[in-house]
Structure 1
Amino acid sequence: MYKLLVVDDELIERNALKYIISHNCREIGVIEEAANGREAISMAVTFKPDIIIMDIKIPIVNGIEASRAIKQFAPECRIILLTAFNYFDYAQEAIHMGVEDFIVKPATDEQLIAALNKTIDRIQLTRDQSDRQMNNERKLGRLIQHLEAELVLSILNGDIDEKVISEYFDIMNITFNKGFAAALHIHFNKGVIPISGEADQEMIKERCMEKMSTEAEKRGFICLATQSGSNIYFLVIFGPVNANQSEPDDITKFLQEVCKDLGDYFNVGITIGIGESATNPGELYNSFLQAKSVGRSTGDYGVIYYEDIEPKNQSLSYPLEEENKLCNSIIVCDETTALMLIDEITDWMGENISGLKEIHWKAYELLVIIFKTSAREFKLCEKDAKACFEEIKQLESVQAIRNYLKRVVKDIIKEIQLLITTDRAAASIENVCKYIKRNYVKDISLGEAAGIAGLSNFYFSKIFKYYKNMNFIDYVAEVRINEAKELLKSPDINIKDIGDMVGYSDPNYFTRVFKKIAGITPTEFRSKKIAIE
């Protein structure tokens, strides 16, 4: 709906215009009126009409002058002038001011409504174009954000070469002369009450990204960002204003401000690791490796430069904990976590092992551990690690080794997932279930059942729940209680004896388990059955 202001010094004319428009133009929602040019200007400020129909010959300030004044503060307002004078006397001046149309008095109702509808169509067309433009700008903004995150992540993982990085910069209209990588790590356990909620942590990470990017851009830097795991990674590029600035003094100040502001506001610890500056895109990967290594080599808060770390801290011991986590991630088929851990382990290799030959050996050792773990847990045939080593030896970069390890791990996870859904696993579970039904009186342990299935305890527990939709202990209890229900139909058998007969030597425990599964006690169950029969 559109707002209309009618301006005429004759009350009869104003009422007539309002009547005609309100009965013939549904798009007009609210109509206000003014009797002179001064009132028209005042109403245009407060009422903010979309359209003004204004007589030229009005007192105090004429329609031409009033239109000129209104157009200065409300250029989007559409003005239709009413005139009893020759159109040509005012056309040049009116066109210069941007007046929408003229209606020469006396005008018919049809002429008035036609001029008004034409103006409404033009307003709607302009609004539609504006909406499309805003929508396109929003889409473009989201696309640029996606490209920025994709670029940073690709450089971070070493999945991109210098030529492609330069192409990204061209697309985003970025001139790269100098830049550095930053890794922001948030210590959520700094406060008295650690921040453990996933939603809260994600919100804080988003705010940290916004704050870092905003503050960098205020100072003339271009800041691209992405999240990976628990860290936020930034590519900070020197803009034309600060291209000649020295480091680290002028950069440290604003980074320290970011650390302090975010840390104080959210009550968390912030560590920002800074890699060495790069003067060409091909050096950015090393800068990211250095920035990441800062966070792993120190527990301190604040801004820390890679070159300031003690050499002993730069050479960390092998990340055995990450290796164990990697094996566990493979076992539970958590591909996302497994690939992230490969990134961390291969980063360590690139930073701490000198010589590609030594990295080949370390990657081979990691594969041996992965193959043995998967073979042990799932009774798979152990893969030929030596054959893989022959392939690893042909790889000429840490990134190539990283990609090779990821491919192997993806294949193992697919094999495990296939195993879970194949007849082999189903048959193993069914064999166990038959064994339980024959031997429910015995104390059957999870280890005994897993041995029958030919699986490790961990994996057996996982696939048993997958197939039976309940855990192993609950299944055994259900089999026992179902058998107890059959025995309870006979009034001659003592309830305590029935408990013993289905594997429960403690009658109180038998009653609790029975009620948990059946919803009533054994005595109540027997009474109901006898009453029915």
Structure 2
Amino acid sequence: MNEKIKLIIVDDEYLERNLLKNCIEWDKLDIEIVGEASNADEALKLIEQNRPDIIFTDINMPVMNGLKFSKMVKEKYPEIKIVVVTGFDDFQNAQKSIKMGISDFIVKPISDDEVYKSVLKLKEQIEKRRSDNEEYSALRRQFLENLPYIREKFYNELILGEFDEKKEYEHMMFLGINLRGNFYQVAAIECIQETAENEETRFLNTIQLLNKARSFFRGMIVFLDTMSRIIVINNDENTDLYEKCEGFMDKNMDADICIGVGTIKDKLNQISISYKEALEALNYKVAVGRNSVILHSNIRASGKKIYEDTESLTEELTFSIKSRLTDKAIAAADAILDSIDIKSEGAVKAIRIAVGNIAALCLKTLLESGKDIDFIYKENIRVNSEVMKISTMPEAREYVKALIKETIDISNSVNQHKISDMVQEVKKYIDEHYNDHNLSLTSVAGKMYLNPSYLSRTFKKEAGMSFIEYLTSVRMEKAMELLRKDEYRAFEVAELVGIPDANYFCSCFKKYYGVNVSDFKRADKKA
């Protein structure tokens, strides 16, 4: 329901006031007479209390005439419509009053029709003004509601360098943006969300971090760029943006984020340069890892290709893994990763390719070492999945380091089983051929297709005694069994256990058991 138009009548004569009150049906025009006054002082009090839309006033009044009164009202309340009621003799003065902003004048004696026409004209003007005010208020509300988005659009134009500096100062004033002076620096915050379930989750996580940033970086401009990165513009030379970013990182260690900081600029139109530097620094997260604050001025220039030829490094890595030289293998893998230009656009893909190749080499080594194919197949699926999650150089180095260590540990384990089996086979051969006079380390190595030095070293490490010590122990224990039967003489026993020289046999027996053959036989008979 529209608000009624309020009217006040000012005249020192009661009959004139009454005549105006009754000359037309005010209610039908949605006009309410909210008060009447006999002089200007009373009228001013009524105006203060009721704030009318229309005033009917006589010119000739005591103390203060109608023109002076009207002038005071228009100076304080310019929106109020004033109708001057005058006698014929004051017509020329009334005309002059039009210049003061008086809306209309009526000559006494008043005519109902004249009052009606005047009031109707003023009513239309007031209603139009109200309508315009309502429309303006609605537009202003709409503008204020959209102001954050309008500002954000402006900020994005600013960081992209899409603006005319002279015009933009006016634009900033209109939007209530205060960017002055000769100190501008930009930071870009990226929320890494590789494990986010869907786009909605990623968006909500970004908005949550944006709200935290706006609270933390108070006094600075904080908004989202077109790629949903959080952008911070610092215009205060007394604030160290890099330190502030480190503080923000410390307070949000639970979030997977990275921050790039551009260099300080002294002109508004250079904000776009600081922004580009912040993005370049942000891209360097591939090198330094996540949850880092990277200052553009600390980035080293690189002229490498995205992925250099690393054939010789791959050969060195292969040899080191097969030789189980962990440190050398890790160093070779690091050299391969070092050949990648981490500032290039395809750096992450190049890192994953390199890690994938190293992983394939490790699996091939395990397969060649004797690991079963089912194990290799399952490991291949697991490794491929893990490699696709790597997005920074530190992650790649840690993964490759762990993978090489695991590969060599598994190879050692497989090799250990092989060695154990080989030593057991050698022992079995000795147990079955101890009586062969020609049995030796060299002959057994030949039978097993092994290098004699390798067999000697490996046998002693695994069995805890040398090859000849084990062979001697087998021959001596067999010799004791034969001597206890009392069927053979010493030289015959020596022959049967593979020692054709009886004297040497007796020497070995005494050294092994601490007693000579004859004393052992006598003692054994008594027992």
Same fold (TM over 0.5): no
Structure index of larger Rg: 2
